[in-house]
């Protein structure tokens, strides 16, 4: 099938390459000529495990092209809308300007029978508005949210946990156009569907809500365990053992119960805020007021880590050398959008510490955001003469650091484990002061 993918960021680039690997003819379209040039040359414009290999694999087939010209979307039967919906400046609401401009540019190139499949995370009601704008084109809008996690984006796209189609409906039943669109999407996703991927077919509103509901649940789960970490700190309990014990209950489950610096990135924080804003517009803000608390617990983690560093620095970080291991919002990504690690680093820098940040992949992106911070290319370089070390992103190479070896490089053996991934006994045995969130 001929497919266009509008927007080639973390979502679109992976989606385009994945669709080509499933055998479709794909054109990826983006307004950024640099991104398009890199993708066209077969290079991933960001770090995502498996994406370079996937791009190389499909390059030989000739089934994947990239362009800055929306006219090249013409002729595709399914157009995936994959542009970003960041938080609006000074507000909780989502900024829909990229969705709007991409859609406006696409409409003149649509043919009757085409399907426009929205993947971007949008406030509920957006799909209905966009569908109305397709009137007279003969094209059909479907909402097909994406649930990929950075770091696992290729796997999540090729082997998703579930697929969701939001179709146009009348009296709760898909319209004939909706059924035709569904048949096209079934063809697009023939491979994952044949592998037994669950499919939820529903209306626009439900499909849009599924995405923000899922992200709100995940954010709540993380903030729940981080709230428990606060209780643990007040009582001398260990939140990691608590999480293990409650996680054995199958109704609760252990995943997403890692207490620490909390969630960041381009999705969870802005999605829960946009969801609250939308609920307010819909007159049901009370239903989501708990998300305010989820957000507040999460943001407190960052302050708490800085406080712990201050404690291990005998009450003041002014003029102290602090090494921060990690800049990406999570391991296996170079994404620094709303990164808890960078937030901690920047707070300490602004409070007078001399901060050196390192990350296996995200140094370039981090430097662009915080040019005043010092960056190092390796952990060993970053910790030289440090008065305190903060583990802020749990990259495997930081989890595996040898406390004795690192101890030779620092000025003072003090570590704040912002992700609860180090073995406190091993670090203490090597002469370190070890502090963590929610652990004695
Ligand atoms: C998330 C959703 O998982 C994905 O389905 C959606 O499509 C986009 O948003 P992503 O932002 O890539 O994906 O990251 P995710 O793996 O969900 O982690 C989010 C944040 O939560 C990270 O900052 C991570 O460090 C943090 N986290 C995760 C915790 O603090 N504790 C945990 O136990 C799990």
pLDDT digits (tens, 9 = 90+) for 153-198: 999 999 999 999 999 999 999 999 999 999 999 999 999 999 999 9
Nearest CA to ligand 1 atom 15: 149
Query: Does residue 58 fall inside a structural domain?
Result: yes
Query: Does residue 202 fall inside a structural domain?
Result: no
CATH code, domain carrying 137: 3.40.50.720
What are the tens digits of pLDDT across the range 101-136? 999 999 999 999 999 999 999 999 999 999 999 999
- For the CA of 419, the nearest atom of ligand 1: 30
Query: Does residue 64 fall inside a structural domain?
Result: yes
- Which burial class, exposed, middle or buried, applies to 194 when counting CB atoms under 10 A from its CB (0-12, 13-18, 19+)? exposed
Query: Which of the four pLDDT bands, split at 50, 70 and 90, describes residue 340?
Result: very high
One domain for residues 191 and 217: no
Q: Which of 168, 197, 226 is the last residue of a domain?
A: 197
* Distance from Cα 404 to the centre of ligand 1, integer Å: 32
Q: Which of 273, 295, 317 is the last residue of a domain?
A: 295
What are the tens digits of pLDDT across the range 68-77? 999 999 999 9
Query: Does residue 203 fall inside a structural domain?
Result: no
One domain for residues 93 and 217: no
Best of 267, 299, 399 for a ligand 1 pocket test (most atoms within 8 Å of beta carbon): 267
CATH code, domain carrying 247: 1.10.1040.10
Mean pLDDT of 266-273: 97
What pTM, to 2 d.p., does this model score?
A: 0.97
* Distance from Cα 102 to the centre of ligand 1, integer Å: 27
Query: Which of the four pLDDT bands, split at 50, 70 and 90, describes residue 313?
Result: very high
| Nearby residues of 54 by Cβ (< 8 Å), 6 or more positions away | 14, 17, 18, 21, 154
* Distance from Cα 124 to the centre of ligand 1, integer Å: 22
Nearest CA to ligand 1 atom 18: 263
- Residues in contact with ligand 1 by the CB-under-6-Å rule are 146-150, 215, 218, 222, 256-258, 260, 262-265, 267-268, 329-330
Q: What is the C-alpha separation between 127 and 130, in angstroms, rounded? A: 5
Report the share of the chain in percent with pLDDT over 70: 100
One domain for residues 20 and 166: yes
Best of 330, 343, 344, 437 for a ligand 1 pocket test (most atoms within 8 Å of beta carbon): 330
Query: Which of the four pLDDT bands, split at 50, 70 and 90, describes residue 423?
Result: very high
| The predicted structure's pLDDT at residue 57 | 94
Query: Which of the four pLDDT bands, split at 50, 70 and 90, describes residue 203?
Result: very high
- For the CA of 152, the nearest atom of ligand 1: 12
One domain for residues 254 and 283: yes
Query: Which of the four pLDDT bands, split at 50, 70 and 90, describes residue 432?
Result: very high
The CA distances from residue 401 to 194, 389, 404, 426, in Å, are 43, 12, 9, 11
| The predicted structure's pLDDT at residue 153 | 97
- Which burial class, exposed, middle or buried, applies to 329 when counting CB atoms under 10 A from its CB (0-12, 13-18, 19+)? buried
One domain for residues 281 and 324: no
* Distance from Cα 352 to the centre of ligand 1, integer Å: 31
- For the CA of 340, the nearest atom of ligand 1: 23
Residue 313 corresponds to which tokens in the numbers above? 């620095």
Mean pLDDT of 336-350: 98
One domain for residues 378 and 402: yes
**Taking a C-beta distance cutoff of 8 angstroms, is the pair 376, 358 a contact?**
yes
* Distance from Cα 149 to the centre of ligand 1, integer Å: 7
One domain for residues 333 and 398: yes
Range of the domain at 232: 212-295
- For the CA of 268, the nearest atom of ligand 1: 9
Residues marked active site are found at 267
Q: What is the C-alpha separation between 124 and 431, in angstroms, rounded? A: 54
Q: Which of 279, 295, 311 is the last residue of a domain?
A: 295
In terms of DSSP bridges, do strands 169-170 and 173-174 run parallel, antiparallel, or are they unpaired? Answer: antiparallel
Q: How many separate domains does the chain show?
A: 3
């Amino acid at each position: 099938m001929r497919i266009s993918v509008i927007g080639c960021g973390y979502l679109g680039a992976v989606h385009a390459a994945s669709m080509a690997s499933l055998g479709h003819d794909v054109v990826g379209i983006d307004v950024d000529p640099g991104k398009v040039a890199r993708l066209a040359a077969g290079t991933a414009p960001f770090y995502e495990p498996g994406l370079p290999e996937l791009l190389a694999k499909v390059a030989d087939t000739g089934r994947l092209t990239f362009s800055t010209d929306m006219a090249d979307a013409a002729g595709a039967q399914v157009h995936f809308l994959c542009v970003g919906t960041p938080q609006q400046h000074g507000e909780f609401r989502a900024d829909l300007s990229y969705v709007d401009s991409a859609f406006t540019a696409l409409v003149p190139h649509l043919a009757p029978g085409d399907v426009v499949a929205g993947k971007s995370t949008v406030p509920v009601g957006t799909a209905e508005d966009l569908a109305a704008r397709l009137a007279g084109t003969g094209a059909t809008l479907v909402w097909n949210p994406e649930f990929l996690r950075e770091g696992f984006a290729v796997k999540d796209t090729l082997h998703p946990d579930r697929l969701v189609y939001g179709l146009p409906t009348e009296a709760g039943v898909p319209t004939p156009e909706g059924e035709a669109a569904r048949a096209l999407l079934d063809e697009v996703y023939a491979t994952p569907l044949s592998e037994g991927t669950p499919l939820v077919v529903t209306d626009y509103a439900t499909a849009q809500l599924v995405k923000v509901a899922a992200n709100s649940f995940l954010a709540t789960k993380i903030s729940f365990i981080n709230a428990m970490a606060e209780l643990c700190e007040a009582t001398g309990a260990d939140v990691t053992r608590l999480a293990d014990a409650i996680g054995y209950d199958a109704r609760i489950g252990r995943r997403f119960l890692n207490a620490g610096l909390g969630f960041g990135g381009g999705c969870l924080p802005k999605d829960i805020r946009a969801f609250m804003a939308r609920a307010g517009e819909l007159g049901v803000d009370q239903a989501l007021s708990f998300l305010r608390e989820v957000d507040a617990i999460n943001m407190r983690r960052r302050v708490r880590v800085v406080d712990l560093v201050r404690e291990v620095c005998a009450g003041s970080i002014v003029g102290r050398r602090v090494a921060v291991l990690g800049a990406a919002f999570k391991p296996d990504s170079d994404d620094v959008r709303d990164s808890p690690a960078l937030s901690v680093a920047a707070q300490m820098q602004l409070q007078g510490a001399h901060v050196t940040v390192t990350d296996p992949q995200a140094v370039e992106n981090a430097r662009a955001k915080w040019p005043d911070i010092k960056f190092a290319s390796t952990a060993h370089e970053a910790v030289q003469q440090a008065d305190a070390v903060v583990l802020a992103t749990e990259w495997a190479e930081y989890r595996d650091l040898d406390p004795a070896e690192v101890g030779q490089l620092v000025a003072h053996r003090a570590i704040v484990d912002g992700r609860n991934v180090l073995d406190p006994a091993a670090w203490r045995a090597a002469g370190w002061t070890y502090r963590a969130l929610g652990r004695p």
